[in-house]
Amino acid sequence: MEFLNPFFWLGATALTAPILLHLVRRHRRERVPFPSLMFLHQIPTKELRRKKLTHLFLLFLRCLGLLLIVAAFSRPMVSGTWFGNLAMGTPRSLVILIDSSMSMSREPVWQKASEVAEQRVRSLTGGDEGLIVRFGETVEVLSSWEARPERLLSVLHSRSGASFEGTSYGEALRVASEQFKEQQANSRKEIVLITDLQLSGLPESQKWRLPDDVILTIESVGEESANLFVEEVRLERFSFGEQHPYPIVTLLKSTPPQRLQGELQLFLEGQLIDRKGFELNQDGTGQVTFRPFALEAGPHTGRIVAQVEDLLPADNIFFFVVERRESQPITVVSSRPSSMVYLKSALSSGQNLPFRVEVVEPPGPARLIPEARPVLILDNLARPPRPDALKAYVTNGGGLLVSLGNSVRPEAYNRLAAELFPAELDQRQFIRSRDRNFTSITDVDWQHPIFSVFQESHRAGLVSVQFYSYWKLRPQQGSTVLARFDDSNPALLERTLGRGRVLVFASSLDRVWTDFPLRSAYVPFWHRLAGYAGGWSASAAAMTVGEILGSDQYGAKSERGSTSSWNIVDPNGQRVIGLDQETPDFVELKFPGHYEIRKNKKTDWVAVNSDPRESDLQQVPVDKLLARFRAERPATSSSPQATRVSQEEHRQPLWWPLLLAAALVLGIESLVANHRRRVIE
């Protein structure tokens, strides 16, 4: 038997009250005025005391009544005994759901969580069964349903220690509730969530609810505590110059807000290259900017370290990887190079560009190798040059962009439509209507990487572009229309071929058929289009724990068949992919630090950091957490203790009998006391 409110047993000290009353009350008589005490003497105390303890039966009844009340309010919970089983009736199915996110690694939170988990395991008796699940961002079922506590305890002990993951209560509870499918329908289903109640783990909206028959009990094992962490570092992975293109901006945050001071150190390849002091603002945020540093060719590991001491040291370090690369050419084949001034200007504007523009006349470069020329643009050519070379170029990973103008011969393109281009050319469209003489792009796949940059108000910049003429296209099978004119004719089409892709723009690049070059959307459009065609994308200098490193990101896909030459070593020095293992489709990044990717004799790095949301140790009220997941049950508790009361009400079959017994005893006491008074009177 355990007690929900064991501190109520302190109320047992109230038992002294009736005894003292019995002793003292007769002593404290009413004071009667008397003219003089001259002829009276003080009675010895011993003689008075002899008269004190009377009505022992009444005293016994009063003490018993109080004792029963104290016992009732201490809320005895029956479990683990034959009486408990008798009272409970049905066996329990208990899922012990342990939060193993990074915030639980604080001392002594994890130790406390382990103790609570062990205590819960030991509470399993009789026909009860238990199962252990731990979760962070991901959920891991550690055991099968097990009736023997010692088995569950060994599972608990085998997986000790918190992870570096974030917190996701929704997924954890969903997986935990799914475990009950294996259990008998008549068993009592209970989930004990052992957590530090981190607010960041609570989903903003949650439609999924726990089934009605599942009881959720929350064991809070952590408290809100102050923590400073590196919230964000604005850093580009790739640099196409001799130094990093931008100042490195580091954002620091403290929760709860406090004005901390300290030092921030910037390390590159283990060498301290810069240090800056910081002082957080009133709102607990701060910003430190490091000057751009020089880079040699190749990838380099680095870290930014905040020199402070707190409960979560892992989030005081931000790991990153920067890499210096050479820019690659975008080759524009145009019969009128002078007309390419707009395109050339657009693709040359900006900092740290991964490409540079070169304009050549037809038939273009003698050798089309994707690695050397990732993007080839055919501008308004009468016919595509060297079709076989183009096809090989695209198949091997090249990006081919075709813009159509008034020089284009459709039959020359249509001959290649089946095997190279995404569409056949039908006829030129000249916009001549009574109302207007232009058309616009209106139907756009805004989620596509090319157009995703045009969000909200920026879309107007694209849809307001006027097109006076374009080629009417008939999409080929396997092609995708990414944008259409307002008359529903395709404006931009895409076709994937081998490892490359072909994109056809139905209008011209210059000002002959459109005013696009004069519009603000022209530059970002061509940057995105060229980047997409060439496979360039801005790459973050760091990833986050829990993210997936796809095989395409570390190049395994392209080297299938030679997996033995690949290795990934995590920050702890452990090999993630063994020499004898087949290359997996992805690798889960579990630890903050630098993952080393070895490919033949080349080494690449991926930096991983903990999720900054996990560093915010603000707690969510238990009621709110329960309300988010419980099935339409009003939250009635305001504290973890109170939550337990509501959740475990049914485990307290002694509550009412004890109260009734107390009422009965006190009723008898009243009768006896009244009877005695009447007798005395």
Partner 1 sequence: MSKSPSLRFIDPLVLSRIRGLQLIAKTVVEGFVTGLHRSPYHGFSLNFSEYRQYAPGDDIRSIDWKVFGRTDRFYVKKYEGDTNCQMYLLLDNSASMGYASGPISKIDYARYLAASLSYLAVRQSDAAGLAAFDSGVFNRIPPRAQYRHFLTILHRLEQLELGSRNNIGEALEELARLIRKRSIVVLISDFYHEVEELSKTLRFFHHRGNDVILFHLLDPVELKMPLADSCTLQDMETSDYLSYVPDHSRAGYLELLQQHIGDLQRGCRDARIDYTLLSTDEPLDRALYSYLSARQRRY
Interface contacts to partner 1, rule CB under 8 A? 29-43, 47-48, 51
CB of 17 to partner 1, least distance (A): 22
CB of 88 to partner 1, least distance (A): 56
Q: Which residues make Cβ contacts (< 8 Å) with residue 608, sequence separation at least 6?
A: 319, 542, 543, 544, 545, 547, 571, 589, 591, 592, 593, 594, 595
CB of 24 to partner 1, least distance (A): 13
CA pseudo-torsion sign 223, 227, 231, 237: negative
The residue (of 35 and 634) whose beta carbon lies closer to partner 1 is 35
The residue (of 44 and 270) whose beta carbon lies closer to partner 1 is 44
Nearest to 367 by CA among 398, 333, 336, 393: 393
Q: What is residue 312's three-state secondary structure? A: coil
The residue (of 21 and 538) whose beta carbon lies closer to partner 1 is 21
CB of 45 to partner 1, least distance (A): 9
Surface-to-core class of residue 658, CB atoms within 10 Å of its CB (0-12 exposed, 13-18 middle, 19+ buried) = buried
Residue 368 tokens read as: 């089309």
Containing 333, the helix (H) or strand (E) segment is strand 328-334
CB of 62 to partner 1, least distance (A): 23
CB of 39 to partner 1, least distance (A): 4
Q: Which residues face 48 on adjacent strands? A: none
The residue (of 40 and 56) whose beta carbon lies closer to partner 1 is 40
Is the peptide bond between 363 and the residue preceding it cis, with omega within 30 degrees of 0? Answer: yes
HSE (CB half, 13 Å, CA atoms) of 107? 3
Containing 46, the helix (H) or strand (E) segment is helix 45-49
The residue (of 34 and 477) whose beta carbon lies closer to partner 1 is 34
CB of 49 to partner 1, least distance (A): 11
CB of 40 to partner 1, least distance (A): 5
- Rounded to 5 degrees, φ, ψ at 594 are -110, 120
The amino acid at 167: T
The residue (of 32 and 185) whose beta carbon lies closer to partner 1 is 32
Query: Measured between alpha carbons, how far is 354 from 337 in angstroms, rounded to an integer?
Result: 22
Query: Measured between alpha carbons, how far is 16 from 228 in angstroms, rounded to an integer?
Result: 51
The residue (of 27 and 557) whose beta carbon lies closer to partner 1 is 27
The residue (of 45 and 186) whose beta carbon lies closer to partner 1 is 45
Tell me the pairing of strands 238-239 and 317-324. parallel
The residue (of 41 and 207) whose beta carbon lies closer to partner 1 is 41
Cβ contact 149:121 at 8 Å: yes
The residue (of 32 and 366) whose beta carbon lies closer to partner 1 is 32
CB of 56 to partner 1, least distance (A): 20
The residue (of 50 and 434) whose beta carbon lies closer to partner 1 is 50
Query: Measured between alpha carbons, how far is 122 from 355 in angstroms, rounded to an integer?
Result: 64
The residue (of 37 and 56) whose beta carbon lies closer to partner 1 is 37
The residue (of 46 and 367) whose beta carbon lies closer to partner 1 is 46
The residue (of 42 and 271) whose beta carbon lies closer to partner 1 is 42
Surface-to-core class of residue 213, CB atoms within 10 Å of its CB (0-12 exposed, 13-18 middle, 19+ buried) = middle
CB of 46 to partner 1, least distance (A): 12
**Residue carrying structure tokens 């975008």:** 330
- Please state, as a whole number, how many other Cβ atoms lie within 10 Å of the Cβ of residue 569: 16
CB of 52 to partner 1, least distance (A): 12
CB of 28 to partner 1, least distance (A): 8
**Residue carrying structure tokens 């400073």:** 228
114-119: which pairs have CB atoms within 8 A and are 24 or more residues apart? Answer: 114/156, 114/160, 116/194, 116/219, 116/221, 117/156, 117/194, 118/153, 118/156
The residue (of 42 and 600) whose beta carbon lies closer to partner 1 is 42
Cβ contact 395:499 at 8 Å: yes
User: What is the separation, in whole angstroms, between the first and last Cα of the chain?
Assistant: 47
Query: Measured between alpha carbons, how far is 581 from 576 in angstroms, rounded to an integer?
Result: 10
Residue 356 tokens read as: 């540079």
CB of 48 to partner 1, least distance (A): 6
Query: Measured between alpha carbons, how far is 75 from 648 in angstroms, rounded to an integer?
Result: 10
Cβ contact 514:467 at 8 Å: yes
Query: Measured between alpha carbons, how far is 261 from 281 in angstroms, rounded to an integer?
Result: 10
The residue (of 27 and 234) whose beta carbon lies closer to partner 1 is 27
Query: Measured between alpha carbons, how far is 263 from 397 in angstroms, rounded to an integer?
Result: 46
The residue (of 30 and 296) whose beta carbon lies closer to partner 1 is 30
Nearest to 469 by CA among 503, 500, 435, 511: 511
CB of 55 to partner 1, least distance (A): 16
CB of 33 to partner 1, least distance (A): 5
Q: Which residues make Cβ contacts (< 8 Å) with residue 461, sequence separation at least 6?
A: 454, 519, 520, 521
